[in-house]
Amino acid sequence: MKLDVLNIQGSKTGKSIDLPDNIFGVDANQHAVYLDVKQHLANKRQGTHKAKERGEVKGSTKKIKKQKGTGTARFGDIKNPLFRGGGRVFGPRPRTYNLKLNKKVKALARKCALSVKAASGSLMVVEDFTFDSPKTKEFNNIINNLDLTGKKLLLITGEHDKVVYLSGRNIQNANIKSANELNTYDIMKANSVVLSESSVGKLIEQFSK
């Protein structure tokens, strides 16, 4: 699959780049994508939720009323879960939601996600660029030149470029990742995926391992 390389003004440079079919042209495996996205979202959960149970609620342990002869149900103390302010039955406790997934499945899921974007025409390649200093306005101009205004954008760079990252981090719906940080969730969430020239080589090297 060949794509024209664009410059940051949005016009063709006369160059084209060959995207390998074993990365950008694989058959979509929806279950692999589902598993990778599920793991990504699960691993982001903090799992710090906690509710006090009967033995942890502060309160008197004195028996409220006598055991028999009242004509109503028997109660032990005011920490009974049936009372307001009592402990919660089987409440949430701190836990980890982390899931494990094989490296080959994760790699397949990323390939499938990139292939879906390529097949739908939501993938483009731009020349490598940077700024002298962080400039949100200049990054926004690039988005306008590429006709991606208002779309969820994922820019994939070859290496982590702090200046480019700082330039785009405050722009709504713009996400900047290096090739090493790429994950299936970010690819599928984006409406348009923009690859820098150097990122293509990094992806090929990454998936060949």
pLDDT tens column, 78-126: 999 999 999 999 999 999 999 999 999 999 999 999 999 999 999 999 9
Q: In which residue are the tokens 């990323």 written?
A: 110
Closest CA to 195 of 139, 106, 117, 124: 124
Percent of the chain with pLDDT over 70: 100
Percent of the chain with pLDDT over 90: 86
Q: At 39, which helix (H) or strand (E)? A: helix 30-43
Plot region of 22 (φ>0 → left; ψ -120 to 50 → alpha; else → beta): alpha
Decide if 152 contacts 114 (C-beta within 8 A): no
Q: How far apart are CA 176 and CA 194, in angstroms?
A: 10
Q: Where do the domains of the chain lie, and which CATH numbers do they carry?
A: 2-28+101-207 (3.40.1370.10), 46-96 (no CATH)
Q: How many CB atoms lie within 10 A of CB 67?
A: 9
The partner residues of 157 in beta bridges, in order of sequence, read 178
For range 37-53, the mean pLDDT: 95
Closest CA to 51 of 103, 108, 92: 92
Please report the pLDDT score of residue 105 as a whole number: 96
Please report the pLDDT score of residue 102 as a whole number: 95
Decide if 52 contacts 58 (C-beta within 8 A): no
Please report the pLDDT score of residue 202 as a whole number: 92
Please report the pLDDT score of residue 100 as a whole number: 95
pLDDT band, very low/low/confident/very high, at 171 (cuts 50, 70, 90): very high
Please report the pLDDT score of residue 10 as a whole number: 86
Please report the pLDDT score of residue 78 as a whole number: 93
Q: In which residue are the tokens 């713009």 written?
A: 174
**No. of helices (H) and no. of strands (E), the chain:** 7, 6
Decide if 151 contacts 191 (C-beta within 8 A): yes
Please report the pLDDT score of residue 209 as a whole number: 73
pLDDT band, very low/low/confident/very high, at 1 (cuts 50, 70, 90): confident
Residue 138 clears pLDDT 90, i.e. is over it = yes
For range 139-165, the mean pLDDT: 93
The pLDDT mean for the chain works out to 93
